[in-house]
């Protein structure tokens, strides 16, 4: 097969050249950008609101840039701000978006949220990939509290592909609609509401997120709706109020049959709210607890044994803390290193560049905490009826360990 001959760059028009070297992602209305503004000593980063043509983005040094100058550009394009500084257009990652958004509640840090999602081991087929009963109930996960919505967003990303596609028009309506004045919800046109209701009824995976604090729920709703123009928003149902009320009503509707595939609790005194969660959890489903302190995990275990709950501890994991150097960009939980080639300060004019490779000094500790993973058993076969195990005090030698 003959391949087309590449054109010499000198023979391309500037427009075609810029297309060839562009990131290929054109910034659209309602996108959120992460702008890198040239600074005096170091760059300044700014997470924008969803871009609307008439709005202005305020930056550091009293400068600003018109949103209309950003819409239609490509990622990595450079535009001048009102003070003449260069501003580079970046797209925020999910983690960067969360870290740099306003918060009403302490979130599960993005790399810890990723760990929790991976512990759930979600492997859902896309619609149509498996023979299944069209009337089969969806795969449901329950999460409380919603808080900032960090874990919610990570969970929704993992469920997203299991659901049928929405339409660009519906996504556009979802991310631009105003909130209802006196209620929790979007003020959609009757046609958009009907399209949204019909889409919700077609979902194969649903994340239910509940918080008793309406302010937290509303802020999380907005955060998730604005991320990537409502990409993951339709997978989530937001609930405000009591865990007991919501789940008891659902259990009544299902005649007591459990319907949740997994549940996650990130709230103080989880055991005070866990009974309906465990009742609603299907056998073999996982219950994950996120706790800042190990003693809270111990408290839950003591309660679970005392009340003979049909769940069993599988693992307890300490999440590693990490540090960030600039506080605005995520390190994925890893330790950030400085790797650069520099001419040493004060060196002779003809000095050779040297490579610097050292861990960056973090100025903020992030993440950490404890995760307990429990599995739901059939009530009768609960291994919690087992006597409390006695800890053996004898040391296992390394040799003994390696024996078959």
Ligand X SMILES: C[S@@+](CC[C@H](N)C(=O)[O-])C[C@H]1O[C@@H](n2cnc3c(N)ncnc32)[C@H](O)[C@@H]1O
Per the structure block, which two tokens stand in for 222?
């907005």
Residue 2 phi, psi dihedral angles, 5° rounding:
-90, 130
The interface mask with ligand X, positions 193-212, x = CB under 6 A, is -----------------xxx
By C-beta, is 89 or 159 nearer to ligand X? 159
Structural tokens at position 345: 């300060």
Residue 246 Cβ, how far from ligand X at the closest point, in Å? 9
**For tokens 């839950």, what's the residue?**
300
Q: Please tell me the distance from the alpha carbon of residue 217 to that of residue 76, in angstroms, as a whole number.
A: 34
Q: Which of 144, 223, 304, 372 binds ligand X (CB under 6 A)?
A: 144
- Residues 80-139 contacting ligand X, CB under 6 A: 105-108
Considering only the stretches 129-137, 145-153, 323-331, 337-345, report the one whose residues sit in contact with ligand X under the rule CB under 6 A.
145-153
CB of 370 within 8 A of CB of 148? no
32 binds ligand X, rule: CB under 6 A: no
> Is residue 243 within the footprint of ligand X (CB under 6 A)?
yes
What's the chain's length in residues?
404
Residue of the chain from 150, 230, 301, 309 that contacts ligand X (CB under 6 A): 150
Task: Tell me if 371 contacts ligand X by CB under 6 A.
Answer: no
User: Is residue 388 a contact partner of residue 301, using CB atoms and an 8 Å limit?
Assistant: no
Q: How far are the Cα atoms of 64, 175, 241, 252, 260 from residue 256, in angstroms, in the given order?
A: 57, 36, 21, 6, 12
For ligand X (CB under 6 A), the number of binding residues is 21
Q: Which stretch binds ligand X (CB under 6 A): 9-17, 173-181, 249-257, 265-273?
A: 265-273
Grouping H, G, I as helix, E, B as strand and the rest as coil, residue 120 is helix
218 binds ligand X (CB under 6 A): no
Say if CB 363 and CB 325 are below 8 A apart.
Answer: yes
- Using CB under 6 A, which of 116, 186, 267, 372 touches ligand X? 267
Q: Which parts of this chain interact with ligand X (CB under 6 A)?
A: 105-108, 144-145, 147-151, 210-213, 216, 243, 266-268, 273
């Amino acid at each position: 097969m003959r391949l087309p001959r590449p054109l010499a760059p000198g023979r391309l028009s500037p427009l075609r050249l810029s297309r060839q070297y562009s990131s290929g992602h054109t910034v659209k209305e309602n996108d959120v950008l992460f702008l890198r503004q040239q600074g005096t000593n170091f760059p300044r980063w700014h997470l924008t609101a969803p871009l609307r043509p008439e709005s202005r983005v305020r930056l550091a040094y009293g400068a600003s840039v018109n949103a209309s100058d950003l819409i239609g550009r490509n990622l990595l394009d450079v535009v001048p701000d009102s003070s003449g500084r260069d501003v580079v257009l970046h797209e925020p990652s999910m983690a960067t978006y969360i870290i740099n958004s306003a918060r009403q509640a302490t979130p599960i840090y993005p790399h810890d949220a990723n760990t929790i999602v991976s512990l759930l081991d979600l492997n859902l087929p896309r619609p149509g990939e498996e023979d299944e009963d069209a009337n089969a109930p969806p795969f449901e996960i329950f999460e409380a509290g919603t808080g900032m919505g960090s874990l919610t967003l990570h969970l929704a990303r993992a469920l997203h592909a299991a659901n049928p596609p929405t339409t660009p028009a519906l996504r556009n309506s979802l991310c631009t609609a105003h909130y209802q004045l006196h209620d929790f919800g979007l003020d959609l046109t009757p046609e958009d509401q009907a399209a949204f209701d019909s889409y919700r009824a077609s979902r194969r995976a649903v994340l239910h997120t509940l918080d008793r604090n309406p302010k937290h729920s509303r802020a999380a709703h907005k955060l998730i709706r604005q991320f990537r123009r409502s990409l993951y928003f339709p997978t989530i149902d937001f609930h405000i109020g009591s865990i007991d009320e919501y789940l008891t009503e659902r259990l009544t509707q299902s005649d007591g049959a459990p319907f949740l595939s997994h549940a996650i609790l990130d709230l103080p005194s989880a055991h005070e709210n866990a009974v309906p969660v465990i009742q609603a959890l299907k056998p073999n489903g996982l219950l994950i607890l996120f706790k800042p302190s190990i003693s809270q995990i111990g408290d839950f275990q003591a309660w679970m044994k005392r009340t003979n709950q049909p769940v069993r501890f599988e693992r307890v994991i300490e999440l590693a803390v990490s540090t960030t150097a600039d506080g605005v960009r995520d390190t994925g939980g890893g330790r950030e290193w400085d790797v650069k080639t520099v001419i040493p300060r004060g060196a002779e004019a003809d000095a050779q560049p040297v490579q610097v490779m050292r861990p960056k000094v973090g100025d903020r500790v992030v993440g950490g905490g404890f995760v307990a993973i429990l599995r739901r058993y059939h009530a009768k076969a609960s291994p919690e009826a087992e006597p409390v195990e006695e800890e053996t005090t004898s040391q296992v030698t390394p040799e003994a360990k390696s024996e078959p």
